[in-house]
Structure 1
């Protein structure tokens, strides 16, 4: 099939790469400022594991091209715009409606909100099979290619039989390991997408709330979490306490869903989750501040993990930013290690004094008065404890993801603080 993808962010590039890899001839259209950039300078490609290589491969094979708006002979168009580009989507839809008078399939994968697909559809003639179908954007940064090509579920939001058939044919290569293929109206699919995101956020917020209470009541949240997860009505998914969640899409979707409740005069748990998550991001700094009795003068603090989660170089809304900002405000010497995100962190802080970027995790802890673990990259799970002990000035570890063995660390002589432990 011939497919045109519209967008400039991670979602668009992942869709383009995956559709091309499946054998389609794909054109990706974005703004001229993006088209002039070399591929390696586009952060969406650089930050996502494997994406830049796959894009280059598909371009070399001739199945994927970049365009600046040229017409292409295709009746299938894929919208992967950012959440604030609804007017751009309307402009695209109007143009396509005139250019392709019948049998026009438009897949909307944008997070515009509930009812957006219906609004786009109103610009077209459904009787002539000019149809907008909604497929939720379930992209997870760090696993984006795998999530698109090997999804566990696909939701198709449409009640037009022709469009459903065409869409199923388009996504057929990605149905090999599917557990659920869900058909519903576009409005129901849009609502479902936001409802799932909201539920995950509430689970994270609740377990963090429990962990903070466990700290005060001298119980171990890991034991509590194990007991909760053993209940089949609850399970273990998204039930790990930590120092807050980040990521651009996740935060935006939660905030947007919360706004929907507010506009209809309803209180929402999500508003509390959002505000409490921002407070949770400061938790490691607070623990450090209290440990040193509100005096961090001449302290050197090591930070392991800057990206908002493992598997990505993105620092969008990352908890590390709040922690580092608080440390720098106290005049602390901050030494940061991250396997992927250092380049983005250097750009973000842009010669800010007091912060050093370390390519080796053990360089970061040299003469440190504490180690703050923020992102649970796999290489942090089992460090050389003796090397840590010898390299640090003060043997204090504050574990923002509860990945370390507390008993082992205390046996080595470390002071250990976790989340609810």
Structure 2
């Protein structure tokens, strides 16, 4: 099929490249000329495992192209995926100005049937606003032509987005007409996972309901971790036993310093705001958000309890991205923890396999904050090692070497990546989250 994707951000580019990989012809519309030039050259402006290789392959096969002109995209295909940004407003609601712009400009350009598909995460009933906008601008043009608006939310996890797209748990599609249903049914016909057809409002709601529930699981196990520390229990074993219950599941029950990224923080606030606008009290989700917000200060308090005063102490930081296998630092716990450590007077040496360039843009090197060449360089002469992201290379680190390089062999593990017993047998003081800290 021929597909137009508007927006070459994380969701848009992953969607476009994967659809091309599946044999479709895809045109991507992106306003930023520099990004288009980069993509035409086969380079992805962010880190996502496997995505750049697929981009290069499909450029070579001629299945994917890029343009800055929406007119080219509207002419290219009757199937238009809207993958533009929906950033958070100060009140927690979603800024839908980019979605509105796509709807408006498409209506000005279209001369035949178009199916506009929401892929961006949007509040419930956004499809009605898109439909109204298209109708208004068609009326101004004196045009009367058929079009449809559908919802097809993404469920991509950064760090495994290609795998998530190609082998999803489910595909959710919200439609209002038989025509749009048949088009999207044809597009996804080779997928073997459950395909759930709903009305657009239900489809829009499913994304926010899913992400908010996952965030709730993380905050819940973090709350349990706090209790475990108080009573001498082990949250890792609590979570493992809970996870064997099929009603609960094992995913998202890993205690730590909280969730971040571009989805959970934004989506949970947007869901709360949506509910409030309808007179529904989402106090449960408000508490979920509060629990997560407290994690940064609690972690810094734990560090202070371990090494006493932080003033003048050299601390090694492993991990800046909000999760492994991405360079994304949006709403990362590191962005909250590092300012608190600096305020306490600590000297920090930071290392992350992929996210250091993004972090340097916010925190340039200075007298109290520097960047290491590798993870072992970061721990030289450090009074403690703080782990903020669970990168695999950290899990596989030579801890004997780490001990030899540090001034004081102390690890404060914000992600519970190590077995406390094994680390302590090496002569390293180890402090995790929700485990017995001796």
1:118 to 100, 106, 128: 128
1:289 to 277, 286, 304: 304
TM-score (norm 2): 0.89
Partner of 1:404: 418
Q: 2:78, 2:240 → 1: CA distance?
A: 51
CA contact (8 A) 1:315 1:344 kept: yes
In the TM superposition, residue 131 of structure 1 has moved relative to its aligned partner by 0.6
Aligned in 2, Cα 1:5/1:387: closer, same or farther, shift over 3 Å?
same
Q: 1:35, 1:339 → 2: CA distance?
A: 23
In the TM superposition, residue 2 of structure 1 has moved relative to its aligned partner by 2.0
Partner of 2:141: none
- Asked if 1:386 corresponds to 2:429, the answer is no
Partner of 1:279: 294
Partner of 2:162: 145
TM-score (norm 1): 0.92
Partner of 1:78: 81
SS at match of 2:411: strand
Please say which of residues 398-407 and 260-269 is displaced more in the overlay: 260-269
In the TM superposition, residue 97 of structure 1 has moved relative to its aligned partner by 3.8
CA contact (8 A) 2:148 2:176 kept: no
Aligned in 2, Cα 1:357/1:143: closer, same or farther, shift over 3 Å?
same
Q: 1:353, 1:40 → 2: CA distance?
A: 40
Aligned in 2, Cα 1:92/1:385: closer, same or farther, shift over 3 Å?
closer
1:370 to 345, 360, 384: 384
CA contact (8 A) 1:133 1:163 kept: yes
In the TM superposition, residue 257 of structure 1 has moved relative to its aligned partner by 0.4
Please say which of residues 137-146 and 92-101 is displaced more in the overlay: 92-101
In the TM superposition, residue 391 of structure 1 has moved relative to its aligned partner by 1.2
Residues 59-208 of structure 1 correspond to what in structure 2 (within 5 A)? 59-69=59-69, 70-71=71-72, 72-84=75-87, 86-97=96-107, 99-124=109-134, 129-173=146-190, 175-176=191-192, 178=193, 180-208=194-222
Partner of 1:333: 347
1:349-396 Cα offsets, whole Å, 9 max, x none, are 123432222232111111111111111111122332321221111121
In the TM superposition, residue 308 of structure 1 has moved relative to its aligned partner by 0.5
Aligned in 2, Cα 1:35/1:202: closer, same or farther, shift over 3 Å?
closer
Please say which of residues 210-219 and 54-63 is displaced more in the overlay: 54-63
Partner of 2:26: 26
CA contact (8 A) 2:40 2:66 kept: no
Q: 1:60, 1:283 → 2: CA distance?
A: 50
Partner of 2:92: none
Partner of 2:227: 213
CA contact (8 A) 1:243 1:282 kept: no
Q: 1:280, 1:197 → 2: CA distance?
A: 19
CA contact (8 A) 2:5 2:12 kept: yes
Equivalenced residues, count: 417
Aligned in 2, Cα 1:42/1:334: closer, same or farther, shift over 3 Å?
farther
Aligned in 2, Cα 1:343/1:188: closer, same or farther, shift over 3 Å?
same
CA contact (8 A) 2:27 2:76 kept: no
In structure 2, the gaps of 5 or more residues are 88-94, 139-143
In the TM superposition, residue 401 of structure 1 has moved relative to its aligned partner by 1.3
- Asked if 1:299 corresponds to 2:313, the answer is yes
1:124-147 Cα offsets, whole Å, 9 max, x none, are 579964111100121211111221
Partner of 1:261: 275
In structure 1, the gaps of 5 or more residues are none
Please say which of residues 108-117 and 267-276 is displaced more in the overlay: 267-276
SS at match of 2:156: coil
In the TM superposition, residue 36 of structure 1 has moved relative to its aligned partner by 6.1
Q: 2:32, 2:357 → 1: CA distance?
A: 25
In the TM superposition, residue 230 of structure 1 has moved relative to its aligned partner by 2.8
Q: 1:302, 1:384 → 2: CA distance?
A: 15
In the TM superposition, residue 42 of structure 1 has moved relative to its aligned partner by 11
Please say which of residues 29-38 and 257-266 is displaced more in the overlay: 29-38
In the TM superposition, residue 299 of structure 1 has moved relative to its aligned partner by 0.9
CA contact (8 A) 1:40 1:52 kept: no
Q: 1:339, 1:90 → 2: CA distance?
A: 37
Partner of 2:250: 236
Please say which of residues 272-281 and 222-231 is displaced more in the overlay: 222-231
Q: 2:210, 2:96 → 1: CA distance?
A: 22
1:100-154 Cα offsets, whole Å, 9 max, x none, are 4543211111112100012212345799641111001212111112211221210
In the TM superposition, residue 40 of structure 1 has moved relative to its aligned partner by 9.8
In the TM superposition, residue 183 of structure 1 has moved relative to its aligned partner by 0.7
- Asked if 1:246 corresponds to 2:249, the answer is no
CA contact (8 A) 1:101 1:130 kept: no
- The Cα RMSD (Å) is 2.4
Partner of 2:2: 2
Q: 2:35, 2:395 → 1: CA distance?
A: 40
